Structure 1
């Protein structure tokens, strides 16, 4: 399967222009026979604390990407923000009122909506967005897809759980240049330790005083980078063979050697 990574320069002030840019990426993806296209975190706005504006537009954001997936007949991975439902806020009045989400759409239908588990407290995201509580996966072309967002990449436990089923894991991000070496290293590590393809898609451009320089990439389960590292806005393309994952997990069944019960016991003991 062919994956297209839309390494976008996102401008908060020009959401309509961002939509036009998104469609241009779809057109390039069609020209290159892409099966799945992946966009960065908060695709139409970039990393933003303007939650009232971005959140209220959530339904329109999702509908836009659903329509793009239908129009271009392509699995679409994208980022958006969404208000926490009123019934959930009644149950948890101390929660923040918005989620930072990743969506996967196919044929005009939202197939997966994952809420970022770890808001980036260093960047004050945790003051505005509520952390999710569920892992999500979806089946596509006889392959299981997992999904995470940006800062989640620093927490290996959730990747171990996801990779019990997932063979390809997407991470969409707004990851700044100042820590880009860590992005590269963590993507590679997660691929190796989980025996998965890691598809990491980051933005370019400037926002809120930070510079973003891409480095979107696909890493194989051996830790090899499949795509060329680029820093400018572009569509990166990588070919993935999920059969490699299935075969590796048969011949080198590393997960069979994990001692989950012992890890849980150690964790509990460390809290005493």
Structure 2
């Protein structure tokens, strides 16, 4: 049995606070993604852009977006991952969903809300790390600002793939590039980063730089333009690297509070 994961990363501009337009756009882009792709990864808040006004979207928008992801996963017979505005009770979350091909899902709430933009005042912070088992791979999905905090991402679960979905702007893109590579190296895993492109309503420019790195920091794919990127992750190759260079054996043991 081949233990490989074929992933597609959709790097694109987003329509500001327009879920219907964004869903239609992503559907169009997914048409040409071949059936051998196991996982499609979308940017952070892919249905709205990085909005700080979730209440204007209505309380059921997150649920509708999740239902759309489930429909597309069933239609494409592949897993889909991305984050969206989600209201639960009277609280809002920047919630990531990993939707399996059969429509079942796991969710992760962004741990580190972006205080510079006031995200901490609008969205609740998550408290639980989530590990997804899929196609023989253990996947750890995180969101944007989480990238700056290595302790939260530390590979104490022996995961194989670390995935960040983001709206990471141009002025700080050098940090995105360096930290994605660092997370791959220090956690001895594949590290995937999916960013958006284009200009948002706040005037921020997003330059893409979506990329995939292997456990030694080698860059497998990278792009600065609007396109779908593809990468093949190989579990056997990852295990060979880890068995030869047993750096994870020397991990510090700690408990997060």
With the shorter chain as reference, the TM-score category is: over 0.9
For 1:45 and 1:151, the matched residues in 2 are separated by 18
How far 1:221 sits from its partner (Å)? Answer: 0.5
Tell me which residue corresponds to 1:47.
50
Change in CA separation of 1:98 and 1:55 when aligned onto 2, cut-off 3 Å: farther
The one of 25, 29, 36 equivalent to 2:33 is 29
User: Which piece of structure 1 moves more, 204-213 or 75-84?
Assistant: 75-84
Indicate the residue corresponding to 1:189 in structure 2: 182
Q: Contact between 2:144 and 2:164, CA under 8 Å: does it hold in 1?
A: yes
| TM-score (norm: length of structure 1) | 0.87
CA deviations on 1:147-197 (whole Å, 9 max, x unpaired) are 100000000001114x52310111000000111111000000000000010
Tell me what 2:115 maps to.
121
Measured in 2, the distance between the counterparts of 1:52 and 1:142 equals: 39
**Correspondent of 2:149 among 155, 172, 179:** 155
Question: Tell me, what secondary structure is at the counterpart of 1:260?
Answer: coil
Unaligned segments of structure 2, at least 5 residues: none
Mapped to 2, the partners of 1:73 and 1:7 lie a distance apart of: 21
Q: How far does the alpha carbon of each residue in 1:111-136 deviate from its partner, in whole angstroms, 9 at most, with x for none?
A: 21000000000111111001100000
Give the root-mean-square deviation of aligned CA atoms.
1.8
Q: Which residue of the partner structure matches residue 15 of structure 1?
A: 19
Take 2:17 and 2:157, find their aligned partners in 1: how far apart are those partners? 40
**Please, which runs of 5 or more residues in structure 1 have no aligned partner?**
87-96
| Number of equivalent positions | 251
Matched, 1:172 2:165: yes
Which of 65, 72, 84 is the matching residue for 1:80? 84
Out of 224, 227, 242, the residue aligned to residue 231 of structure 1 is 224
Matched, 1:99 2:93: yes
Task: State the distance in 2 between where 1:14 and 1:148 align.
Answer: 24
117-126 vs 77-86, which moves further: 77-86
Is 2:73 aligned against 1:69?
Answer: yes
Q: Which has the higher helix share?
A: 1
